[in-house]
Amino acid sequence: MDLGDCYRLLGLRPGASFAEIKTSYRRLAQQYHPDINPDDKKAKDKFIALTEAYRLLLTVVPPEETVEPSSSQFFTSRREEPKTTRQETAPKTTVTTEKPQTPPANIAEIEQRLKWKTYEQLQRFLKEKRFPQAIALAEALVDRLPKDAEVRQWLAIAYQIWARALISEHQVLKARIYLKKALKTDPNNKALWNEVQRDFQKIEQIF
């Protein structure tokens, strides 16, 4: 492959600048990348030819920039040109720093911090009688920690507290819905069960 072929493959005129070569390669490489065209052999061959042309032009055309972050981030695994080792080392180091091996040990601790911060916020919402916000917050926490019995209990209590507020506002149908949700959320909580039964009896007596 001569230089003329390289320029033609990249859709450029001979004498194109380094920036033009880079831009054209990025555009075409993304178009014909094997990951985007997994079952297309022609696209794969085109991608290989484009990469070879790009490498050859890099050995001839003086770079206007010493760093090439965008293309190296997209195609670090595909590019191995000898004159761009400095460009490749930067993304490789960032990749290693972005994948620390220590976090797994701290995940439980982070989840616990999140849990108790959410609990504090939940308490504030309930005291301020911001019941929809309190329930939305508790439901989100249950979605994140579905196996945490304590979190499910908080949600059940939030349902019950709102149901009681609805009873006082004579919104009986809605109150019944949230009392049933409370029982369904924490079915093994006997204390909650007894309180909810009293709430149902109160509804029957009043209405």
Domains, the chain, in order of start with CATH, read 3-97 (1.10.287.110), 103-206 (1.25.40.10)
Quick one: pLDDT at residue 17? 84
How many other C-beta atoms are found inside a 10 Å radius of the C-beta of residue 178? 24
Quick one: pLDDT at residue 123? 92
Quick one: pLDDT at residue 141? 87
Phi, psi of 172, deg, nearest 5? -65, -45
Quick one: pLDDT at residue 185? 94
Q: Specify the amino acid at residue 102.
A: T
Low-confidence ranges of the chain (pLDDT < 50): 65-105
Quick one: pLDDT at residue 96? 41
Comparing CA positions, the residue from 54, 57, 59, 56 lying closest to residue 74 is 54
Comparing CA positions, the residue from 99, 144, 92, 96 lying closest to residue 118 is 144
Comparing CA positions, the residue from 121, 111, 122, 23 lying closest to residue 74 is 23
